[in-house]
Structure 1
Amino acid sequence: MAAAVATAIGASSAAYAVQQGTPGDALLIPYVVTAGAGRLNTMISVVAVSPANVNVGQFNTLTGTKTAESCNGRLHWFFFDKESNEVADNTFAVTCNDWVGLDFGTIVEDPARPIPSALNVPGYMVITDNAAGDTTGSGMILYGAAYQIRGNWATQAYIPVVPLVDSADGTVGDEVDHVGAFVANVNPVKAGMALASGQGQRAVFSLRYYLKADAPAGDTEFVLWFPDNNAARVNQNILVYDADERAISATTNVPYELNVIGVGADAKEGRLITATIRDGLSETGFVAFGVADGVGPANAPTSRAGVAFSLIGVNGGNGDQTQTELAHERGVQ
């Protein structure tokens, strides 16, 4: 299912900053990709917990009734491409206090039931209670972690996993929109990075880069996930800073729900890279974004949130090691 525009889901409260390590009714993994196990892959860890072991009322990303029965069942994963078109989905069994690992490369290249349409496709994943739907909220308490693996475990980079509220569709604060057995839209308002919600607003944040040519050499990609596709983010103005506070203005394109930006003077768009930043770069610094893509009028804003982070490769002579750095959020202005 395509989710081309943001809806009012989650509109009752505003995001403050990306939450990590907290539970959700459902989970958003904002960047999932595989070129096959042993080449480029994503590993996902999911823990389903009994309410007897969690102070449920403490967390604003848990809703509804959680019981020892509701945490036994099946989880449903949905993989979407950069434009939020569903590519694949499936379910798997969980029990209370269970851990399940998902090896996306192995799933995609399963010789019994391969999914070639998901190979070399940058996308994102939503995991929720298989029992959740239009009129039923998730009964699960889920924790998650994810890692991007390059080569044969040559390096692994942490991918942030964002908890989601998945109550019945149309209820206040719901962040997962279902259409029958499928997920149509997600908007991580409570646990994501706040974005512009109405006209005249802009979300300001910065992302670090490291591009040193000699040892330890560096390379950088930016990952930006939004709850919608939006042409307002074409020719997005940015400020590229070096390490000495000097800024040069430039542009990039981030119109998709998932945007993977190659950063470097020789960066090129390709199947896994959706845009580039080539101008004004130094050995190291940061890029400042001011994204004015609010979808609601000034007097009736629609709360929205996303996720952004850098994947910074550092080669110290023993192979490239990729590190993850979350965006530095400066607020909606």
Structure 2
Amino acid sequence: MQTGTWHNVYDDQYYCCSDYKRLGTGYQLNSIAYYVYGTKNTADILQLVLNINEMNESTLAHDELVNASKLLVKKSVGITLPDSFIKALYNDKNMFLTEKNYSITLKRETGPTSKYSLTFTIQGQTNSLPIEHQSEKDNIIDTLFRKYGESDLVKVADAASRNSAWNDIITAIENMPPDSPKKTKGNLLLTLAFLEQGKAARASQVLESFTSDDAFYVLLEGRLAFIQGKDRHALDKFDEALTRPSNFRNTQLVRNDALYYTAVTYDNRYNATLSPEARQQAMKAWDTLIKVYMSQPDHPRFKLANQKLASF
């Protein structure tokens, strides 16, 4: 997992983190991310955080955490991860190991944003750390240009969105000139990145800074309303997005997203109320999604829609 830029928090305290890597094909996906904390020129704390939301796919998620932990320990302190830690990782058990120059801990915590999380931490003196130090704006931009083979920050953000590299989108757009002619598309991509990271307040701040009749903008309004728990408003926006064209994103992809989030919203409503009406609405929405992805039977949304219908 590649981290983003090295951010100065205060004084000589810095941190960086990767994008969340989504694991599995479930409704609420499990995810893993990598964090590094330290000073300007050193890294003192390395963390892997695994969030578990789908218990049925937890084995795959634990495999990912074990493999990442083995690699991180080998690269940072030059040892093989002890079998006792591997066993603890698979069994969600707290664990602690102290050596002369470093410590390794594993801690299980109940979410607020997941059913539970596992945090694997290495703290102390380390040898080599897979982090990318960037302190100058020009260096940050040059790195993004090289990474995506583009010389335009909005094109960088667009390419990053196809790879779910949300931190790269944020970095690119926040470094975009304020008078850029592509500012609207940049702000749409920035809103998308914040929504994908669950940062509703940041997404709302960006959306409120401009307005558009574009289908992509309307879709993002709906997604923000969904995160804020405003189901009725979200459904209205998803329905509206189905009727509008988009100049900033493939219109069919926007419509597919609108139908997907419509199904998710109705499904949440049914799970909350268990009413016959909500059940019928959720079933209809998932059935519509199946028809949309009928030609792509391996698509995660097609599989999820079939699983949901089978569960009613």
Question: Counting helix residues as a fraction of each chain, which structure ranks higher?
Answer: 2
| Pair in the same fold by TM > 0.5 | no
Give the structure with higher Rg (CA). Answer: 2
Return the TM-score normalized by structure 1: 0.29
Question: Counting strand residues as a fraction of each chain, which structure ranks higher?
Answer: 1
